[in-house]
Structure 1
Amino acid sequence: MKAVVIRRYGTTDVLQYEDVEQPRIEPTQLLVKVYASSVNPIDWKIRQGALSLISGSKFPKILGFDLAGEVVQVGSQVTRFQPGDAVYGSTNFPGGAYAEFAAVPENLVAFKPTNLTYEEAAAVPLAALTALQALRDQGNIQTGQSVLINGAAGGVGSFAVQIAKALGAEVTGVSSTQNLDLVKSLGADHVIDYKREDFADGTAQYDIIFDAVGKRSLFQTKRVLKSNGVYISTLPSPQTVVESILTAVLPGQKAKFVLEKPNTQDLVYLKELIETGKIRAVIDRTYPLQELAAAHAYSETGRAVGKIAIAVTS
């Protein structure tokens, strides 16, 4: 099969499109013919070696977490899927989706939303699960609460705006000038242009501040966070980790960070939101698998609006 492989950490030059052996599945896995994947910042952070303490020194590696495709084989202990099923979901760390076939645990996938293309479906898992788990699990979001999404036009942020609205919140989205209309179209009640205004200097107060781009901290935003509000970051930076430990044992404002945990139950929930028209995938660009290096390079600029999709198999 064709796949994009790395044999060392480094720049986009280490991404090599070549023939590799098709994976063999374990009893609890599915063999999925991958039609599409997507790019997440964690993919190129692994490629760069920034997470080498976790991803290790064993090569070659096939990266990529998100996938959508068709089941072609099931393990002996798989009960919910059969060959021919259209699915979407995630691979195990450190990836495996940048390939024509992937071995995927049954508990990390769900049936694909019927109203999405494979490219759109592959844009959902990691980013939408991060947004959902941040707002619902870390923020305990409630109907009527005021929620601010920093980075509202990005991969995670675009889903966060829609999920927060679906859960009944009043949503403020922060983005650049050119993306304000998009953020409004996703359901934001209010928008802030960060090039003209710092939301942390405003007068509005929020129950939840979700920093989907990991650019701020509780300390920097506490003035606009309600006294019992929650600041949530996608980046477990030293400052955020320290703040989360300290605020966990103190009354008042809390600082938390989200580490996405892929699972079938949440994918099914997202599927329901998608099929009822409450959330959709925003795709900036789609690259063929053999141009993954260009897709990574574009993602690294930080200018992508929504997600970058990868077309793996036509």
Structure 2
Amino acid sequence: MSVMKAVRIHAFGGPEVLRLEEIERPEPKIDEILIRVEAASVNPVDWKMREGSYPAVQEDDLPYVLGRDVCGTVEKVGEGVGAFRLGEAVYAFLNPRHGGYEQFVIARPEEVAPKPRLMNPVEAAAIPLAGITAWQGLFEHGGLQAGQRVLIHGGAGGVGHLAIQFAKAKGAWVATTVSGGDMEFARYLGADQVIDYESERFEEAIQPVDMVFDLVAGETQDRSFSVIKTDGILVSTLAQPDKKRATELGIRAIRYTAQPNGVQLAEISRLIDDGKVRVEIRRVYPLDQARAAQEAIMNEHNRGKIVLRVEH
């Protein structure tokens, strides 16, 4: 039996429930890919899963390996997989059945895309979940088009800083709300208007927009209704907007959960390799410090992404 290192939880709780263990290495079945993981991203959904507050992971799923996105190389493929070759550098947004905090992980072909050539494994691992979340929010659900105006709340975070770049790459006009310390960063990413939420009220600073992409929720979401044009849309990753209020204002309002999509991930790779998108890596931890990484993403101001480096 081949073994590997993995970070698992055996019970829901705080960061102390994370354990680095040796477990059996998986083998790919029909239409599955075994990825030799070089880096895994750390996302807010990871600690929500760890605490037991994310419905995709229940008591029956324990023990459970956390982590939703990885970068590595194709180690082995199951029957029916023809799109990826052994040794190919890939990255993936995993479905909740498999976690990325481990040395080898199973993925399905539709979750995987070739790694961007211009990124190293740590940078690439930071992209899939945040990138697909931004892509699907802006374009699949929001229908953002060239020439339209979008306001992105939380533009310095993992999803937000990619959303700014995606929207600009597609020809949209972009405003964003960030803290005072992140204003130059947001301008560097290409935002046309940067609003300091600590000292300004965005609804007083901005002209009406076609879309609000809400990565903050709460009061920020409530106040966003007033800046959306008739027939515009409010899209949130966190909380369902008030649909009754939206109808009264003549706008649409939705909440969504991002889904793995290798085709969209390949489109993101092309933008990266065309020099139109970069990723901000705030900190890198070794796999055995997953607890510290999760504590950081829970308790610190987040600019960009946190990544685990996976050694073999």
TM-score exceeds 0.5: yes
Cα distance in 2 for partners of 1:251, 1:35 equals 48
Is 1:31 matched with 2:34?
Answer: yes
Is 1:17 matched with 2:20?
Answer: yes
Cα distance in 1 for partners of 2:47, 2:129 equals 14
Counterpart residue type for residue 21 of structure 1: E
Cα distance in 2 for partners of 1:94, 1:306 equals 26
How far residue 147 of structure 1 moved from its aligned partner, in angstroms, is 0.9
Contact 1:65/1:94 (<8 A) preserved: no
Which residue number corresponds to residue 257 of structure 2? 259
Q: Deviations over 1:196-242 (max 9, x none)?
A: 012133352111111123344654222211122111111134xx2xx
Is 1:227 matched with 2:230?
Answer: yes
Cα distance in 2 for partners of 1:110, 1:5 equals 26
DSSP 3-state at the match of 2:231: strand
Residue 83 of structure 2, aligned match among 80, 85, 102? 80
Counterpart residue type for residue 54 of structure 1: A
DSSP 3-state at the match of 2:64: coil
How far residue 57 of structure 1 moved from its aligned partner, in angstroms, is 0.8
Length, aligned pairs only: 308
Residue 297 of structure 1, aligned match among 295, 298, 301? 295
Contact 1:202/1:224 (<8 A) preserved: no
Which residue number corresponds to residue 102 of structure 2? 99
Which residue number corresponds to residue 68 of structure 1? 71
Which residue number corresponds to residue 182 of structure 1? 185
Which residue number corresponds to residue 142 of structure 2? 139
Q: Deviations over 1:163-194 (max 9, x none)?
A: 01011111112100111111111110110011
How far residue 257 of structure 1 moved from its aligned partner, in angstroms, is 1.6
Cα distance in 1 for partners of 2:303, 2:249 equals 37
- Give me the TM-score of the superposition, normalised by structure 2: 0.94
Counterpart residue type for residue 297 of structure 2: S
Cα distance in 2 for partners of 1:94, 1:188 equals 36
- The worse-fitting range, judged by mean Cα deviation, of 162-171 and 224-233 is 224-233
Residue 276 of structure 1, aligned match among 274, 277, 291? 274
The alignment-based identity, stated in percent, is: 39
Which residue number corresponds to residue 129 of structure 2? 126
Structure 2 matches for 1:198-217, cutoff 5 A? Answer: 198-216=201-219
Structure 2 gaps of 5+ residues are none
RMSD: 1.6
Residue 116 of structure 2, aligned match among 87, 101, 113? 113
Q: Per the alignment, do residues 17 and 195 of structure 1 end up closer, same or farther by CA in structure 2, a change over 3 Å counting?
A: same
DSSP 3-state at the match of 2:12: coil
